[in-house]
Structure 1
C-alpha cells in the first residue's frame, strides 16, 4: 500500500508538473507561506516573515556562510525534492520518462517563464545558462566584416570572448568602453555608449547588473537611444532576472539571456533566452536545427539529450518566486546588502566599491580592506571564519564580491561584518 501511494504521488508530480494542485511547493511550503503572509507588515519589522523563507532553504543551516549567490544560488527544498523525484523516475527508464512524459512539460514551463518575464511565450527558449543563451544570439546574428559592436570591459568574460571570436572569425569590430564604477548618473553612462557609435555600429551589448561590482546599468535609456540610431541591443540579464522587478519588454531591448540558477534559485544548469518575435527568423541556432531560418523560437532548443529533470524542476523555483513576489524580493535583497555595507563602512580601512542607492545596485557589493589584496581577504574570510565570497582583481576592480540572497539572515551578516572588523584590526 505504501509503495502504491508513493507511485501515485510520483505520477501526480510527473503528470501535472510543478503547476498542478499537488506541486511539491504546495506540499512543502504553501501553508507556511500563507501563514507568513499574515505576519507581513508593509511599514514595519518583517524578520518573522523572512524567517519562514529562510527555513525553506537548507543552505540557511549550512556551517559555511554562502555570500557568493551572484555566482550560483542554492535551491530551496521544494526545488531540490522536485529534481530528486525527476531524476529517480528518469533513472528507471530515461528514454520513456524523459521523452514521453517530462518533455510534455516544456510548453507549460515556457508559459510560466513568459508570465514571470512579462512577455510572449513564443519569444522564450529554455536552455542551460546565460552563456548558452547569449552565445546563441552573438554567433547567430548575421553580422558582416566591418560591422561594429559596442560592449564594455566589465561585461561577463564568456560574452567578451564570444565577441572576440566573432572578431577573429568574421572581421567584425568589437569596441569596449571602460567605466569607473560606481556611477550614480544614468546620463553619463548613456552618453558614453552614444559617443562610441559610428555609422558601422550594429549592436550594443549591455550587462544589466555588472557582475564584478553590482552596478545596475540604465538598460532602457540605452535601448531607447540605440533605437533612435537604428541599432539593436543585447542584454545580459544573468544577475537581474528574478531579482529586479521588471518585465523584459520594458527594457526595450531586442535580445535577452539569463541564468535561472542565480536569483530564481532553479537547479544548476538552467537558463532562458528571449528574442523579440520579429528578430527570431534571422538568428541562426547555435546548435543545428532542420529549419534554421524558422521564426519558431523552439529551433533554439534542439540541444540533443540533456537533463529534462533539471528543466522541469525550474517550475518549482517559479512557484517559490511567485510565493514571495519579485518586488518584495528585490527590496529585501537590497536591504540585506545595505545592512551589512553600512555597518562595514564604519570599520577603519574598509571601503565599499558599490553604490548603496537602490536605483544603482541591489544584491552585489564589493568590499576591500586597505593593505590586503582581494584574494587575501577572500582566503581569510573562508579559512578563519568559514565565510564564502569571491575575490576579484580585474581591471580597476580590486575587491571581494559579496552577494546575499533571501535565505541570508541578519545574524549571518553580523557575523560577516564582525569578521571584517577582526581582519581589519590585524592589518
Structure 2
C-alpha cells in the first residue's frame, strides 16, 4: 500500500471509529458477551442485576489484580478491550508522534464527540472533550462573567477542588461563596431543595450541585434544585463526576446550563479523560480556561485548547462507550445498586457499625459509607487493607468521618461476602 493510500485509509478508519485494533481477546469476549446478553434479553433490568452468570461474563472482561480487593472505584479500571485499544493507539503514536497524532488520531475527535453526545442525550456542538471533571468545572467557575458581590451557592460536601476554585474567585474578585450543609443521608427531596432555596438571595447568580456526593454517595435531586434556582434567576452548574456512566440519565433531564464529568470513573474510560457540556446558548458568555484565539466564540471547541494531550487515551474513550452500551445504562445502574445494598444490608446490623448512605434507589446507587465504633476512618481503612487486602477510601469531610465502599461491575458477590466477613471480624475484635 502506498504511503498516501495508507494515510487516507487510517484517517477514514479513525473517523469511522473502526481502526483495526481488535485482538483475539476482544473478538472472543465480544462473542461471549453477545451470547450472555441474548440469554437475559427476556428479563427486566432488576432481574438481570442478580443474574450472576451474566455478570460473570462482564467480570472476565477486566484484568483487576488478584492481590487486592478493590472497593475504591473513585477511578475505575478500564476493561481489557479498552486497554488493548489504548496500547495500539500508543503504538501508532510512537511510530511518528507528530504525524500519527495530528494527522491521523486527531481526526477521531469529531466522531468521538458525536458518540459522547449520543450517550449524554445532547448535541455534539455542546460537548468538549478534556481530561477530567476538574478541567470542566474550572472552565465554568473561572470562565463565567461574575463580578464582585455576585453570589454562588454550593454545598459543604462538594468536591474540594471545586470549593477551592470558588474561594479563589472570592479572594481575587470579591464574589460571595456560600455553602449549605446536610446531615446525610437525607431522604426528603423537598427538604433538600428548600435548604438551597433558603441560601439564595436576589444576588445569587449560580447554584453549584454535585449530582452524586463523593463522600457517601447521596444522589441529589438536581432537576428540582435547578428548577427552583431558575425561578430565582440563577444558573446551574452540575458536578457529574460520580454520576455519568453510573446513573441512567440524559444531561438535558437535569435542567442545568453546565455539566462536567470524568470519563475514567463509572464509564471505565482511560484514566485522564473527561467531558464538559455547556448549553449552546451559554457557550459564548463563558471564557475558556486556557487562552483561545476567539474566547467569545459560540464554538464549544474553544474549551479544548489543552495543547498536546494523549490522543491514545482520548480515542480509547470510544471503546469504553461501546463496552458500556453493550451492557446498557439501566442494567448497569441496577447492578451497582444491587451490589451496594447487598453488602450494606449485611453490615448495618453488625454491632458498632453505622451506615451513612441511604438504601433507597432515588437517593443512592453504587457508593456507600460506613463508620465503626472505636475505629477512626484511617484505622478502619488500614485494618481492612493490612489484614484483608481490601482497598477502600477514607472520607473526612465537614464532620463526616467514614470509609467509602464502592464496587463496580467487575465486583463479585464473593468479593462482597469477603468484605462483610472482614467488617464483622473487625467489629467483634473491638467489641470483645
Please, what TM-score do these two structures have when normalized by structure 2?
Answer: 0.94
Q: Which secondary structure does the structure 2 equivalent of 1:291 belong to?
A: coil
Distance 2:11 2:421 in 1: 44
Counterpart check, 1:144 vs 2:147: yes
**1:228 equivalent among 231, 234, 237:** 231
Distance 1:39 1:18 in 2: 30
The aligned residue for residue 128 of structure 1 is 131
CA drift at 1:179: 0.6
The aligned residue for residue 31 of structure 2 is 31
Q: Which secondary structure does the structure 2 equivalent of 1:381 belong to?
A: helix
**2:293 equivalent among 290, 293, 299:** 290
Q: How does 1:321-340 map to 2 (within 5 A)?
A: 321-340=324-343
CA drift at 1:30: 2.1
Alpha-carbon RMSD across the aligned residues, in angstroms, is 1.6
Task: Write the deviation string for residues 149-177 of structure 1: whole angstroms up to 9, x where unpaired.
Answer: 00011000000000000001110000011
The aligned residue for residue 65 of structure 1 is 69
Q: Which secondary structure does the structure 2 equivalent of 1:337 belong to?
A: helix
Distance 1:260 1:390 in 2: 19
The aligned residue for residue 279 of structure 1 is 282
Distance 1:342 1:21 in 2: 45
Q: Is contact 2:10-2:104 (8 Å) kept?
A: no
CA drift at 1:270: 0.3
> Deviation above 4 Å: which 4+ runs of structure 1?
11-14
Deviates more, 1:98-107 or 1:25-34: 25-34
Structure 2 residues not aligned, in runs of 5+: 1-5
**1:425 equivalent among 424, 428, 432:** 428
Counterpart check, 1:378 vs 2:381: yes
**2:172 equivalent among 151, 157, 169:** 169
Counterpart check, 1:212 vs 2:210: no
From the superposition, tell whether residues 20 and 28 of structure 1 become closer, same or farther in structure 2 (CA, over 3 Å).
farther
Aligned residues: 416
Task: Write the deviation string for residues 396-423 of structure 1: whole angstroms up to 9, x where unpaired.
Answer: 2111000000010000000000111111
Q: Is contact 1:18-1:316 (8 Å) kept?
A: no
Counterpart check, 1:56 vs 2:61: yes
Q: Which secondary structure does the structure 1 equivalent of 2:296 belong to?
A: coil
Q: Is contact 1:24-1:316 (8 Å) kept?
A: no
From the superposition, tell whether residues 121 and 382 of structure 1 become closer, same or farther in structure 2 (CA, over 3 Å).
same
Q: Which secondary structure does the structure 1 equivalent of 2:39 belong to?
A: coil
The aligned residue for residue 159 of structure 1 is 162
The aligned residue for residue 5 of structure 1 is none
Q: Is contact 2:14-2:105 (8 Å) kept?
A: no
Q: Which secondary structure does the structure 2 equivalent of 1:158 belong to?
A: helix
Distance 1:13 1:32 in 2: 30
Task: Write the deviation string for residues 216-258 of structure 1: whole angstroms up to 9, x where unpaired.
Answer: 0000001111111111000000000011010001100000000
Task: Write the deviation string for residues 256-310 of structure 1: whole angstroms up to 9, x where unpaired.
Answer: 0000000000000000000000000000000100000000000111110111111
Distance 1:39 1:253 in 2: 38
Task: Write the deviation string for residues 35-58 of structure 1: whole angstroms up to 9, x where unpaired.
Answer: 111331434751100000000011
Please, what TM-score do these two structures have when normalized by structure 1?
Answer: 0.95
The aligned residue for residue 4 of structure 1 is none
Q: Is contact 2:11-2:105 (8 Å) kept?
A: no
Q: Is contact 1:23-1:316 (8 Å) kept?
A: no
CA drift at 1:88: 1.3
Counterpart check, 1:364 vs 2:362: no
The aligned residue for residue 196 of structure 1 is 199
Task: Write the deviation string for residues 95-142 of structure 1: whole angstroms up to 9, x where unpaired.
Answer: 000000000000000000000000000000000000010000100000
Distance 2:22 2:390 in 1: 31
From the superposition, tell whether residues 336 and 121 of structure 1 become closer, same or farther in structure 2 (CA, over 3 Å).
same
The aligned residue for residue 305 of structure 1 is 308
Deviates more, 1:201-210 or 1:224-233: 224-233
Q: Is contact 2:367-2:405 (8 Å) kept?
A: yes
